[in-house]
């Protein structure tokens, strides 16, 4: 027991020292990075080379040396012939958007779109692999406006949905001239929802007063702590209805073929049913679509990687170090206890 007490004391001192070092490093990083804004870098990968690499790796595993030699000779001649011809293949710019409730990926999306619009032509195409269950109205409104820039520039826009594009996700998807969905992807949810708890009765039960002072009749409609009124509920519902109507108008603008009142009920459909509702145009995975396009176009995957600030990098490194030290010491403590 005396050994364990000493070891616990040593562990506490070590952790305290590491935490103190972390605090100093983070503070220095914050002071150094004050006033600076973290930038990012556009990363471009040619997907044709990626697909070619997959095929070649499989060929090396399955074909004999003589077969590989013959194949390389054949492909070499084809490559030489292709190099002599003018490179007039259309380009396909591939973007990814994985959305959270705040549509945080918009920060990268906006830079990716700005970059491609400097070079893209009407003969090119933009493919967005979209995955989102929706979120905040204003956040997804901004994300949708970024995609609308592509349409406004006259560049064909294709949206590929492999898993889900619902609510704000479908608000983005509907901007595409073509929407391609996997058979069992989730689509739709053209509706608006808001919910919040109210603990006013609990506060009253414990004789706790909560006051809300406002200037403006509808500055507050429903609250968590205050006593909600029927008038406030009606105004809140009215705001939801207005937002829903704007959502319907937005979808109708880009997909006029929809029976909007039939699909704007907040329901969701799987891809096989969504194609019948005209929510999507074709059933196919993004992998299938892109591999087909790679046969006659140059595919470029664009990703704007945000650079982490010095403060963030130091914080992550320090956090990892603390976890490693604590984990190591804990394991040694367990070993000394059981051995």
CA 187 to centroid of chain Cα atoms: 16
| From 132, 167, 189, 286, active-site residue | 167
Measure the CA–CA gap between 165 and 172, rounded to whole angstroms: 8
What are the distances in angstroms from CA 278 to CA 151, 257, 272?
20, 7, 11
Q: Which helix (H) or strand (E) holds 298?
A: strand 298-306
Per annotation, catalytic residue among 65, 81, 84, 219: 219
Give one DSSP letter per residue of 129-180, joined into a string: EEEE----HHHHHHHHHHHHHHHHTT--EEEEEEEEEETHHHHHHTTSSEEE
Q: 242 Cβ partners below 8 Å, 6+ apart?
A: none
Active site residue 167: yes
What are the C-alpha distances in Å from 49 to residues 45, 127, 288, 295, 301?
8, 18, 16, 12, 11
Q: Do the beta carbons of residue 42 and residue 112 sit within 8 Å? A: yes
d(CA 113, CA 128): 11
Active-site positions read 167, 219
């Amino acid at each position: 027991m005396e050994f364990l007490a000493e070891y616990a004391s040593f562990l506490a001192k070590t952790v305290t020292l590491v935490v103190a070092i972390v605090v100093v490093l983070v503070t220095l990083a914050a002071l150094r990075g004050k006033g600076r804004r973290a930038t990012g870098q556009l990363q471009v990968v040619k997907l044709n080379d990626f697909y070619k690499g997959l095929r070649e790796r499989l060929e090396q595993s399955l074909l004999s040396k003589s077969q590989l030699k013959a194949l390389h000779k054949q492909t070499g001649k084809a490559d030489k012939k292709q190099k002599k011809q003018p490179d007039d293949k259309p380009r396909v710019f591939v973007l990814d958007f994985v959305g959270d409730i705040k549509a945080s990926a918009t920060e990268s999306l906006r830079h990716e779109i700005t970059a491609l619009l400097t070079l893209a032509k009407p003969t090119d195409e933009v493919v967005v692999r979209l995955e989102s269950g929706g979120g905040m109205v204003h956040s997804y409104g901004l994300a949708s406006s970024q995609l609308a820039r592509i349409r406004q520039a006259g560049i064909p826009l294709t949206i590929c949905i492999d898993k889900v594009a619902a609510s704000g996700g479908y608000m983005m998807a509907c901007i595409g001239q073509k929407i391609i969905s996997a058979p069992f992807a989730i689509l739709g949810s053209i509706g608006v929802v808001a919910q919040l708890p109210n603990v006013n009765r609990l506060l009253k039960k414990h004789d706790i007063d909560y006051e809300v002072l406002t200037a403006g009749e509808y500055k507050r409609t429903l609250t968590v702590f205050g006593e909600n009124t029927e008038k406030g509920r009606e105004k809140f519902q009215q705001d939801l209805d207005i937002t829903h109507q704007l959502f319907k108008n937005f979808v109708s603008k880009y997909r006029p073929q929809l029976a909007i009142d039939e699909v704007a009920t907040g329901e969701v459909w799987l891809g096989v049913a969504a194609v019948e509702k005209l929510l999507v145009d074709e059933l196919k995975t993004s992998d299938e679509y892109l591999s087909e396009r790679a046969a006659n176009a140059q595919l470029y995957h664009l990703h704007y990687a945000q650079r982490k600030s010095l403060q963030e990098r130091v914080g992550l490194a320090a956090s990892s170090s603390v976890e490693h030290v604590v984990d190591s010491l804990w394991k040694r403590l367990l070993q000394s206890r059981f051995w």
